[in-house]
Structure 1
Amino acid sequence: MGAFGDLLARLTGRGSSPEVEVSAVPPVPTAADLLAALDRVETLVADGAVPGPVASRVARVARVVRDAIPRLDRLGAGSEQAYVVMATATDYLPEAVGGYLRLPREWANVRPVDNGRTSLMVLIDQLDLLARTMDQVLDAVNRSDAAALIAHGRFLAEKFGHASTGGRLDVDGRLQPPGALG
């Protein structure tokens, strides 16, 4: 298309090649981002801003997430469990606490809103569910590490002969007590 055609296309809103709008994909949060998100939630519930049962549950969820963060690489990139850890720190936990804190305290603590449950009860149930889920994720990571340890032990036993001799050293087919060489 010539210059006149380009001008006409721009004036009429008909371009020769439509521009594609590219939306920016947010970067994957780093460990530091996840820890900062947990810090923000813990700050929200500090100094009596929430009842004790809420504060203790938030602390429990945050502790388990903190324990899981350094081990996210063991879960594998893109795994559902790694996503749950990330989403718990950056979305699920902050949204649950924030939703409760946006309500007037007295109303949230005594007014039934869901099948006779108050907003406080709903929040406690959500925090308990998050805690159970995070426990399962951390357990999966630990089981994976334990399985790797067992597999390595089996490899060593296979490579070097036999299973553990209870601390005795096998030298030339003769078992020696611990500390004895000869």
Structure 2
Amino acid sequence: MGIGAWFGFGRRSTEPAEPVATTPSAPTAADLVESVDRVEQQAREGKVPAMVQSRLGRVCRVVRDTVPRLDSLGAGSPMGYDVVATATNYLPDAIGGYLRLPRAWADSRPVDRGRTPLMLLIDQLDLLGATMDDVFDAVCRADAQALVVHGRFLEERFGAGASGGALTLGATPSTPMPPTTDLLGDVADIRPLSPPSGSGR
């Protein structure tokens, strides 16, 4: 046995390498929009009823309007998670589950407390639509609050109460107005000049 083998050099390990755990990356804004686009296309190709198509369109429209503003909710926001889950999970599962059923059966057979799969889908889309409306309202309020704060800053900086932003006309403590009395004294005491004596006239 050579010295290399003694120290373990030159030998191949027979133990399998441990797999490296990889964490899936969070979906981007483009991924979310692409997901709702795909669900809408799936619904159109499946020829879902008009009442389903209109409700789905409402949810997808609000999701598209909300996605660019998700940063306003802050990292780890439950509302932000709801938007992501709606685009990537809730909508695809709801539409896909309905489309996998035979249409006549799904639209006529009660399966849950007298409701057909079509009625269940409509209820789910209504719930998602109301939830996305609440999220969008919260996002817009956050943006509006930022505008309010900025406006108050401008008022404090340049408004009437600010020392550096207002132009004051008239007397100030540092520049008093001149006295209103005539510098020559009383006007009644002023008499016309007479020629000097001995002028020959």
Partner of 1:132: 130
The TM-score normalised by the length of structure 2 is 0.71
Counterparts of 2:87 and 2:168, CA distance in 1: 56
Q: Deviations over 1:109-163 (max 9, x none)?
A: 1100111000011101110111111111111110011111111111111112348
Structure having the higher helix fraction is: 1
Matches within 5 A, 1:16-95: 20-46=18-44, 49-95=47-93
The TM-score normalised by the length of structure 1 is 0.78
Matches within 5 A, 1:141-152: 141-152=139-150
Question: Residues 124 and 162 of structure 1: is their aligned pair in 2 closer, same or farther, counting only changes over 3 Å?
Answer: farther
Task: Compare CA radii of gyration and give the structure with the larger one.
Answer: 2
Structure 1: gaps spanning 5 or more residues:
164-169, 175-182
Partner of 1:167: none
Question: Residues 173 and 117 of structure 1: is their aligned pair in 2 closer, same or farther, counting only changes over 3 Å?
Answer: farther
Q: CA RMSD in A?
A: 2.4
1:172 maps to amino acid: T
Question: Residues 95 and 162 of structure 1: is their aligned pair in 2 closer, same or farther, counting only changes over 3 Å?
Answer: farther
Number of aligned residue pairs: 159
The answer to whether the 8 A contact 2:79-2:135 is kept is: yes
Identity %: 58
Structure 2: gaps spanning 5 or more residues:
1-5, 171-201
Out of 143-152 and 73-82, give the one that drifted further.
73-82
Counterparts of 2:70 and 2:47, CA distance in 1: 31
Q: Where in structure 1 do 4 or more consecutive aligned residues deviate above 6 Å?
A: none
